[in-house]
A and B are shown apart, each in its own frame.
Chain A
Amino acid sequence: MSTNTLVTPVAEQPLTERRARKKWRPYLPILVMMLPGMIYLLINNYLPMFGLVIAFKNIDYAKGILGSDWNGLTNFKFLFRTSDAYIITRNTLLYNGTFILLGLIFSVGLAILLNEVKNKFMSRLYQSIVLLPFLISMVIVSYLVFAFLGDTQGYLNNTLLPLLGLDSMSFYSDPKYWPYILTLVNIWKTVGYSCIIYLATIIGIDPEYYEAATLDGASKWQQIRTITLPLLTPIIIIMTLMAVGRIFYSDFGLFYQVPMNSGMLYDTTNVIDTYVFRGLLQSSDIGMSSAAGFYQSVVGLILVVLSNYAVRRFSKDNALF
């Protein structure tokens, strides 16, 4: 794609009200086109933001959301008095931290490998294949995982473990396996997608760097270390900081579907998102659930703002705002 940036002159002069109205008129059709999207955002995104007050209320469906009584910080007191608050925070942070680190290593590595393949057809084939897991739903993923790990019918317990002379394992009733399983599934599902982003950047690197390096007798490994990786660093830092900004949010499907919502595994599979969901729809504990949701939204916002500030210091162009 050509990247001829168009410089639009922005007249930022103070306008009188009449001139301002005149300035609006030509944009009326544009505003009409934007209307459906903006209305949707108001309903789907902005209205629920006001709903955050629910966390400070004692919700009574008979009285409605607005009519329910205030109960101050009671919901939060209940939430933070339980061990749940600690477990879900710990799990959310540890899992997402691991995913960020390992995901980065694997996707950058994969992008470098894909770039080395000179055969165009094979390169495209590999790209398609590693993207496959990204295309299917977590429900299907949970079926795949079950086919491998199921207690009685699973491939591992029936074929692989006996082959290695090992005893069968009850994956779905022992929480200790799940940090590894969930990490593996996450990497499997996401790495093909994120590697494309790095691959696009590598392809964009000026080939002259590599030609010059080759003339100087640099080996492939030296080229990767001294050209590819340094030129990838900006995008790596930006992607990582953005992921850190979202570290309080988890892939709900991964933590809900893949362990099959098994109560025995909550110790290592419960994250803020699944806790909020279960509080709302399964145990009808709206008070604690909305408190946890508020905690997630607000801490999430703080983290995004902080990481954006970091991105901004690093590269103004890539900052979110």
Chain B
Amino acid sequence: MNTDNRLWQWISHILLILLSILCIIPFALLIISSFTAEDMILKEGYSFLPSAFSLDAYRYLTGNLSLIGRAYGITVIVTVAGTTVSLLITSMLGYGLSKKDMPGHKIFSFMVFFTLIFNGGLVPTYLIYTQFFGIKNTIWALIVPGLLMNGFNVMLARSYFTMTVPAPVLESARIDGAGEYRTFFQIVLPLSLPIMATIGLTAGIFYWNDWNNGLIYITDQKLYSIQNLLNQIMQNIDALKNSNSAYGSGQILDLPGETVRMAIAVIGVIPVLAAYPFFQRYFIKGIAVGAVKG
């Protein structure tokens, strides 16, 4: 029996180490190639053990701060603003829905629920945002369409408020004379840190990684986020490749090289990887809470 246990420990560790390697290897290739000399990539292809290292890609980035720095700034602004607003309206709506004895509770709940199962789809959404609200090529296009993330986070917050904030605490706050706003911001929110961290992290990752809204609503390069910049570089390269005969090969030289692309990707990934360990505990707990009662 003891040997059975030990055998399982060994098997689990070996398999999990293998899986972990599979998960990390692409990142390793990305980072290594951003430090590889450009001509090595052209000659030997992407490699885990390149024969020459170089910091040229990062020098190029620091030399082109107007382009890259701007995209980075847009990404940061959109992430901070989007996450803050998203967290605020998501938690307030979720808190309202957790008041099960409120008149109209069922109607409001259904209105949030229904968005989870039915939507107008891309074409009407696009037309309404561009024709009625005119958000094409404005910073709002990067923030507004993702704010509530399909209502799933609202349901998550609602479940958490109902399950973990004890009614007596709310009752005693009321007796002490706290209004609803005060109760919410000073008592409920501090008690709900894990779910706030989860929703904040999900929203933060969404905004940091979002290229979709930029692809749909932004054509003005000044408003490109890091992800849209990466996307655009790749599309330009493809466009040139697919019509190689039409263009002279000279034009390709104007595009950032392979290593520069990888360097932009690296600086796009790093903030997420750096922030994640601090939130990991909450994040895993939050997913678990959400899954147990979505």
Contacts and interface: CB of A to CB of B under 8 A. Distances in A.
Given A41-B148, A304-B118, 12 more contacts: A3-B163, A27-B102, A34-B108, A37-B96, A40-B147, A51-B120, A113-B16, A126-B20, A143-B30, A153-B46, A280-B123, A320-B117
Contact of A41 (B22, B151, B235): B151
A153 B163 contact: no
A113 B15 contact: yes
Interface residues of chain A: helix, strand, loop or mixed (majority): helix
Given A142-B234, A147-B29, A281 B121 contact: no
A1 B289 contact: yes
B265 A143 contact: yes
Contacts of A54: 123-124, 127
A130 B19 contact: yes
Interface string A282-320: 000010011001101100110011001000000001101
B92 A197 contact: no
Contacts of A124: 280
A29 B119 contact: no
Given A34-B92, A110-B19, A320 B115 contact: no
A73 interface: no
A65 B118 contact: no
Interface residues of chain B: helix, strand, loop or mixed (majority): helix
Given A29-B180, A52-B121, A148-B26, A117 B16 contact: yes
A304 B119 CA distance: 12
Contact of A135 (B92, B110, B272): B272
A143 B261 contact: yes
Nearest to A253: B212
A278 B9 CA distance: 50
Contacts of B231: 139, 257
A156 B13 CA distance: 28
A205 interface: no
Interface in B80-106: 88-90, 92-93, 95-97, 99-103
Nearest to B20: A129
A317 to B, nearest CB: 8
